[in-house]
Structure 1
Amino acid sequence: MKKYILLAVIMLSALAANAQTTWTNDPQHSRLGFVVKHLMISEIDGRFSDFNATVITSKADYSDAKITLEAKVASINTDVTPRDNHLKSADFFDAEKYPTLTFKSTKLVKLNAKKGYIYGNLTFHGITKPIRLNAIFFGKIINPMNKQTTAGFQVTGVVKRSDYDLGPKFPEAMISNDVRIVANIEFSPNK
């Protein structure tokens, strides 16, 4: 009988070790931002105010993580309402026709305990392209406010707006072709 109990404990421990955990972003402490150069002399930044990011992993170091992100294009915010409305129009994102921006990871490559690359497919404006993003893991703590485990990450990268047919009427001398992505995200596991 003791053998069976020991076997059951070992099997349950193995299952628990491989159990998947789903982490979701904390909207109040997460930001999905971007930066473009304007007239080649200044930088303008903005963000998508309404987005959800999910990480599904069974490993504490996130090396097997599957990451998905969805942002509502209509939530674009550069703190200038006329510019935001123009960005939502058919000249740029065409938010009415293409209401969401999505990212789905395909592979993670760890460089060390805190840094790595996230490979995946970015879709917006009706176009999907593979991209590579840089990731920095800031650490994990128990949040004193809600008593939940919280992990912090920064994800950065560059996409070309021409790859997504975004604002083709506007030359690079007006708006840079390179769009820097800067996302700072706090995740907690779903309960």
Structure 2
Amino acid sequence: MTTWKNDPAHSRLGFVVRHLTITELAGRFAEFTVTAEIGKDDLSDAKFSMAAQTASIDTDVAARDEHLRSGDFFEAAVHPVMTFESSKVRLEAAGEGKISGTLTIRGVAKDVTFNFRSSEVVTNPMTKKPTRSFKVWGDIKRKDFGVGVNEPAAMVGEIVHVSADAECSPA
């Protein structure tokens, strides 16, 4: 097994949620890590983990970010990290499929399944290391994880679209 780690400068963990049933607002977690344990080139034995610092939430509006860090949403002081641990990668085509595992937010752990895509391995011309990207995306229900339970869907949409892109190389 080889351990792959993401390059923070070339990785992103973002989300989009509807606001006031009018528009969609995007945000991200600025501090997160992705680790992949890979033995087989086809990824059939791959195990992925992600850890994001909830206090690193960034929506480009400082007051909103502080509210999202509060007990009304992520309660970052009590739950500083949200995590994902994969249990299965099901490839449906070359480098594409589904990734299932446990997502934990605010201490609430739920099994989820996301879409998954991996690039081919290339040699990074800057670092000379083998490098590949992983993309994960899908939807979760924020209230399933105790996030914003007192916020009506008319204010903050209940479905949150999650999208992660990680450029990784062997550690």
Q: Normalising by the residue count of structure 1, what TM-score does the alignment of the two structures yield? A: 0.88
**Aligned runs of 1:74-93 on 2, under 5 Å?**
74-93=55-74
In structure 1, C-alpha distance between the alignment counterparts of 2:57 and 2:44, rounded to whole Å? 31
* 1:1-191 alignment runs, 5 A limit: 20-190=1-171
**1:112 Cα deviation from its structure 2 partner:** 0.7
Counterpart-to-counterpart distance in 2, 1:60 and 1:138: 11
Q: Using the alignment, how far apart are the partners of 2:22 and 2:30 within structure 1?
A: 26
| Matched position secondary structure for 2:116 | strand
Query: Whole-Å Cα distance in 1 between the matches of residues 7 and 155 of structure 2?
Result: 35
Contact preservation (8 Å) 2:75, 2:106:
yes
Per-residue CA distance 1:97-132 (angstroms, 9 max, x = gap): 101000000111110102110000000111000000
**Partner SS for 1:74:** helix
- Cα distance in 2 for residues equivalent to 1:100 and 1:28: 20
Distance across 2 between alignment mates of 1:141 and 1:43: 35
Which blocks of at least 5 consecutive residues in structure 1 are unaligned?
A: 1-19
What amino acid sits opposite 1:47 in the alignment?
R
**Large movers: runs of 4+ above 6 Å:** none
1:126-171 deviation per Cα after TM superposition (whole angstroms, max 9, x unaligned): 1000000101123221111111111012110111011011111111
State the AA in 2 paired with 1:172.
A
The structure with higher relative contact order (CA 8 Å, sep 6+) is: 2
TM-score, with length taken from structure 2: 0.98
Mapped contact 2:5–2:36 kept (Cα < 8 A): yes
Q: Work out the CA distance in 2 between the residues paired with 1:161 and 1:38.
A: 13
The structure where helix makes up a greater share of residues is 1
* Structure 2: distance between partners of 1:179 and 1:159: 5
Secondary structure of the residue aligned to 1:44 is strand
SS, match of residue 72 in structure 2 = coil
Partners of 2:16 and 2:119 in 1: CA distance: 22
Deviations, residues 39-74 of structure 1 (Å, cap 9, x unaligned): 111110111111111000110121110111111111
SS of equivalent to 1:139: coil
Query: 1-side partners of 2:158 and 2:144: how far apart?
Result: 9
Task: Determine which structure has more spread, i.e. the larger CA radius of gyration.
Answer: 1
Structure showing the higher strand proportion among its residues: 2
